[in-house]
Amino acid sequence: MTDAAVHAVNPDQQARVRLSGREICKSFGPAQVLFDVSIDLHAGEVHALLGENGAGKSTLVKILSGYHQPTSGALSLDQADVTFEDSEVAENHGVILIHQELNLAEQLTVEENIFLGREIKRGWFLDKAVMRAEAKKLLDQLQCDVDPRTRIKDLAVSDRQMVEIAKALSKNADILILDEPTAVLTGREVDILFDQIRRLREQGVAILYISHKLDEIKAIADRVTVLRDGRLITTEPVTDVEKDDMARLMVGRDIKQMFPDRAPVEAHDVAMSVRNVSVDGQVRDASFDLRRGEVLGFAGIVGAGRTALMEAIIGLRDRSSGEIERNGEPVSIHSLQDAKKCGIAYLTKDRKGSGLLLNMDMRPNLTLLALEKFGTVILNRKAEEAALANAIEAFDIRAADPKAKVGDFSGGNQQKLLLAKVMETDPEVVIIDEPTRGIDIGTKSQIYHFIGDLTKRGKSVILLSSEMPEMLGLSDRIAVMAAGRITGILEGNDRNEHEIMRHATGISGKQGVSVYE
């Protein structure tokens, strides 16, 4: 157990190796995903783990925390060999992993989740009052004002992530591993999380931190380890590597151009107009034109109504008023099927919950949205296989085993498959919600170029994103929403962070300013 009173950054402390993995190899069936990877976690240090999607980061940390067994190689804790038969053994040794995918029981409340399996009891009964107070304290520490009695299913994803973090904190970790905790967090929440990480570091906790956001790595990490294709590339102090170096080490090449070049579009050639669309309680009177071949960004703080507006346009949500025109003709869209017929496709931001069938392989996933293309009476399996081969090629989907369930794919490859699925309907208008959540920098650039190519082929794209560089780098124009209204559509030199923030927060509003940092 670490003494909480240890003074910060004392050099001996820094060098104290807590948990280490030696020459770890891991195979899933015939596919080997880790090759002789060694890593040391030091007390009082934040160690960042970097790598492309599918590099094996999650697999490595699952081995370090007892969720997987290494195929070969060994773990040691405080210089003594150790085996974690399962995650419970690892937790008893103080090793806690916060998973990349949220692992909460949806039907249970926040407090029940935090104390799941470790319920506080008085006599034979649960001591609910104490657990509620404890949960409240933990959440307060994270400045997260959700009621401990709320059910998880009623929480936004970012709040769910904060609950995961609270749960991990409550376990008094000695060695804390966070697998992409910030993928779903807003800027303010990231700041709070970093404060907590710094506090733990000062208490001597060894922290392993995975993220695709290189700014974050620069801000929080002491050392970085880079994995590529399951192999250890390097471990260095963070001060010795610049962001460009990190990207190059991860990808194995220079990323020359992050964003595609944009060509000017004809202002009068309108692919879709949205007129006075309202959704009860979420969107008020939204109107805009989408020009052919443009990327129209939609910015706004969380809860501004962007997703609600898009879902209303494609018929997934009831409109209380409003019309939609395609190529100047009014169209009637009341379901996703209608939207599909009008050539409008929607790429969901929730790729696991509403995008992909995780228990199936790639082929049924790819063709699901465009099923009628593959036969109205009998499905043409050959055509499906051919479409899959095309998609793997066109979207550069890299799967160790193409017949594996897509749930076992890395995030980036899932995202590319989702994009391929949506494009299989050959839509004219594509609405893309958070296309790069949890995606590595190389793949991000690839996805940006896919989007650029779409517009070159005359497709029109609506982009929803909470990442400012993405918004600015991809969009020709940016519509900003606040409290359910479109407060401005920015063009030319107005397309900048300052103007976006001004419109996103109203004139006086300050809350959420750090959403874009």
Ligand X SMILES: Nc1ncnc2c1ncn2[C@@H]1O[C@H](COP(=O)(O)OP(=O)(O)OP(=O)(O)O)[C@@H](O)[C@H]1O
Binding-site string for another protein from residue 365 to residue 394, where x marks contact by CB under 8 A and - marks none: --xxx-xx-xxxxxx---------------
Q: Which is nearer to another protein, 9 or 389 (CB)?
A: 389
CB of 97 to Mg ion, least distance (A): 11
CB nearer to ligand X: pick between 343 and 411? 411
| Of 2 and 100, CB closest to ligand X | 100
What one-character-per-residue DSSP string does 188-208 give? HHHHHHHHHHHHHHHTT-EEE
Number of residues engaging Mg ion in binding (CB under 5 A)? 2
Task: Pick one of 58, 307, 436, 445: the residue that binds ligand X (CB under 6 A).
Answer: 58
Return the range that interacts with ligand X (CB under 6 A); candidates 53-61, 237-245, 264-272, 471-479: 53-61
**CA–CA separation, 357 vs 315, rounded Å?**
22
The CA distance from 254 to 496, in Å, is 27
- 280 CA to centre of own chain: 29
Q: Determine if 405 is a binding residue for another protein (CB under 8 A).
A: yes
With respect to ligand X, which residue has the nearer C-beta, 284 or 437? 437
- Please name which of 55, 452, 468 lies closest in space to residue 260, comparing C-alpha atoms: 452
Shortest CB 33 distance to ligand X, Å: 4
User: Which one of 20, 59, 365, 425 is in contact with ligand X (CB under 6 A)?
Assistant: 59
Measure the CA–CA gap between 328 and 375, rounded to whole angstroms: 32
Identity of the residue, 302 or 404, whose beta carbon is nearer to ligand X in the bound complex:
404
Q: Please measure the distance between the N-terminal and C-terminal CA atoms of the chain and give it in whole angstroms.
A: 37
Other C-beta atoms closer than 10 Å to the C-beta of 223 total: 20
- 63-102 residues in contact with Mg ion (CB under 5 A) are 100
Cβ neighbours around 88 below 10 Å, total: 11
Distance of CA 260 to the CA centre of its chain: 22
* Residue 53 near which of ligand X, another protein, Mg ion, none (CB within 5-8 Å, type-dependent): ligand X
Helical pair 441-456 and 411-423, crossing angle rounded to 10 deg: 10
Q: Which residues pair with 80 in a beta bridge?
A: 77
Query: CB under 6 A: which stretch of 4-12, 52-60, 74-82, 323-331 binds ligand X?
Result: 52-60
Work out which of 363, 398, 449, 495 binds another protein, going by CB under 8 A: 363
Residues in Cβ contact with 81 at an 8 Å cutoff, skipping those fewer than 6 apart: 74, 75
Which of 51, 181, 315, 343 is the binder for ligand X (CB under 6 A)?
Answer: 51
User: Which residue in the shown chain puts its C-beta closest to Mg ion?
Assistant: 58
Asked if residue 56 binds ligand X (CB under 6 A), the reply is yes
Residue 462 exposure: Cα atoms within 13 Å on the Cβ side: 30
| Angle value at C-alpha 206, between 143 and 114, nearest 5 degrees | 40
- Distance between CA atoms of residues 17 and 253, nearest Å: 32
* Tokens 């094996």 belong to residue: 56
Q: Copy the structure tokens of residue 386.
A: 């051919």
Is residue 95 within 8 Å of 66, Cβ to Cβ? yes
Binding string, residues 335-354; x marks residues near another protein by CB under 8 A: xxx-xx-----x-x----xx
- Compose the 92-111 pattern: x for residues touching ligand X by CB under 6 A, - for all others: --------x-----------
Q: Minimum distance between the CB of residue 367 and ligand X, rounded to whole angstroms?
A: 21
Interface pattern 51-90 for another protein (x via CB under 8 A): ----------------xxx----------------xx---
What is the token pair recorded at 277?
Answer: 């669309």
Element (H, E) at 324: strand 321-326
Residue type, 242: E
The one among 2, 20, 58, 443 contacting Mg ion by CB under 5 A: 58
Which residue in the set 21, 181, 412, 442 belongs to the binding site for ligand X (CB under 6 A)? 412
The interface with another protein within residues 197-236 (CB under 8 A) comprises: none
d(CA 246, CA 238): 10
Residues at the contact surface with ligand X, assessed by CB under 6 A: 28, 33, 51, 53-59, 100, 400, 404, 408-412, 440
Residues at the contact surface with Mg ion, assessed by CB under 5 A: 58, 100
Residues at the contact surface with another protein, assessed by CB under 8 A: 28-30, 67-69, 86-87, 316, 335-337, 339-340, 346, 348, 353-361, 363-364, 367-369, 371-372, 374-379, 401, 403-405, 421
